């Protein structure tokens, strides 16, 4: 694509093997970006590149896109990812989307320390590690970048059974606002998106009865599609949002 919103830009997407991350790869590539799909599940990331990116449509070719294995909660894995990207593309990405995330739901009174730690390690520390590593690379290369962190609407309001998850997502918003303040002088924008209930594997764990009651609170009366979040990710990646930084944007159908 010659005139896409993000033509010619290199984009890193974490959690790219599923859901919102996969849709981000799809829409960013449709708008002309070269996509690096990174996920704990390498095969799923490769499937994203082969089946969902624009250059790959209609063939098995991967174009200039790449799939890489990544555990966002492991500093060594994040460093290896940066080295692999620099080796392959000779430049850090201009766009970084932090979409990797997990849930380990339980009542506050029953939540294990292990499940608390694992959610905070992936959702909050993982976002920190990727953001710090790639923002550093962007500033050293004098790249005007855009970082998009996927938080959640429950980070604003809380949610039954999700004290660990909602805390991690509230942390992502606060960290995004702080990073925006620190990185603005390097021309790096940092924004957060707070999705509501989006139709991906992560919401399949929510019991039907709970989901039914939740949907009553959504004025648009339905789950969101992953691409409806990906379109906002792509807008925030592009020059159309050139004066937006430190924002936290709800994508919830009005919830
Ligand atoms: P998803 O379909 O489960 O996708 C998340 C992806 O992240 C999966 O491919 C997962 O791999 C991967 N991942 C998990 N741990 C990782 C790690 N340590 N390092 C690298 N990759 C890892 O979920 P989604 O709905 O697209 O969620 C994407 C983001 O949006 C998450 O941050 C989520 O919290 C947020 N969000 C989702 C919703 C929603 O309703 N769907 C609402 C608000 C916010 P495995 O499958 O192998 O674990």
**Tens-place pLDDT, residues 140-178:** 999 999 999 999 999 999 999 999 999 999 999 999 999
CA of 43 to the centre of ligand 1 (A): 15
Q: Alpha helix (H) ranges present in the chain?
A: 19-30, 42-47, 75-89, 113-119, 126-140, 154-157, 163-183, 208-215, 226-237
Strands 95-98 and 66-69: unpaired
CA of 185 to the centre of ligand 1 (A): 31
243 neighbors 191 (Cβ within 8 angstroms): no
Check if 42 is active-site.
Answer: no
pLDDT of 58 reads 44
Chain centroid to CA 233: 8
pLDDT of 60 reads 46
CA distance 91 to 93: 6
SS3 66: strand
pTM over 0.95: yes
Query: In 128-143, which positions are buried (b, 16+ CB within 10 angstroms) versus exposed (e)?
Result: bbbbebbbebbbeeeb
Task: Ligand 1, residue 17: give the atom nearest the CA.
Answer: 9
CA distance 51 to 243: 34
Neighbours of 154 (CB within 10 A): 24
What lines the ligand 1 site, CB under 6 Å? 14-15, 17-21, 39-41, 44, 70-73, 99-102, 122, 126, 150, 152, 195, 197-198, 200-203
CA distance 127 to 111: 22
Domains and CATH numbers, the chain: 10-250 (3.40.50.720)
* 28-to-17, 64, 65, 111, 120 alpha-carbon distances in Å: 15, 13, 11, 37, 28
124 neighbors 101 (Cβ within 8 angstroms): no
CA distance 139 to 58: 37
CA of 3 to the centre of ligand 1 (A): 30
pLDDT of 243 reads 98
CA distance 60 to 10: 21
Chain centroid to CA 76: 20
According to DSSP, residue 124 is labeled: I
Strands 34-39 and 66-69: parallel
Q: Extract the residue ranges of the chain whose pLDDT is less than 70.
A: 1-2, 55-63
């Amino acid at each position: 694509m010659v005139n896409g919103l993000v033509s010619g830009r290199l984009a890193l997407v974490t959690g790219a093997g599923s859901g919102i991350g996969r849709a981000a790869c799809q829409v960013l590539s449709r708008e002309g970006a070269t996509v690096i799909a990174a996920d704990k599940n390498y095969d799923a990331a490769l499937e994203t590149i082969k089946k969902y990116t624009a250059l790959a449509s209609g063939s098995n070719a991967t174009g200039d896109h790449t799939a890489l294995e990544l555990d966002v909660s492991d500093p060594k894995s994040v460093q290896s990812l940066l080295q692999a990207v620099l080796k392959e593309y000779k430049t850090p990405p201009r766009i970084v989307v932090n979409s990797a995330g997990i849930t380990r739901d339980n009542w506050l009174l029953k939540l294990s320390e292990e499940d608390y730690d694992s959610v905070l390690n992936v959702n909050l520390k993982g976002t920190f590690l990727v953001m710090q590593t790639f923002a550093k690379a962007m500033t050293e290369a004098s790249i005007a970048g855009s970082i998009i962190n996927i938080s959640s609407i429950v980070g604003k309001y809380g949610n039954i059974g999700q004290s660990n998850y909602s805390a991690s997502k509230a942390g992502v918003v606060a960290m995004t606002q702080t990073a925006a303040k620190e990185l603005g002088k390097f021309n790096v924008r940092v924004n957060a998106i707070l999705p509501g209930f989006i139709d991906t594997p992560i919401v399949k764990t929510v019991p039907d009865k709970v989901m039914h009651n939740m949907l009553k609170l959504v004025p648009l009366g339905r789950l969101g599609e992953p691409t409806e979040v990906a379109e906002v990710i792509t807008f925030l990646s592009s020059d159309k949002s050139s004066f937006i930084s430190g924002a936290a944007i709800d994508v919830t159908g009005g919830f």
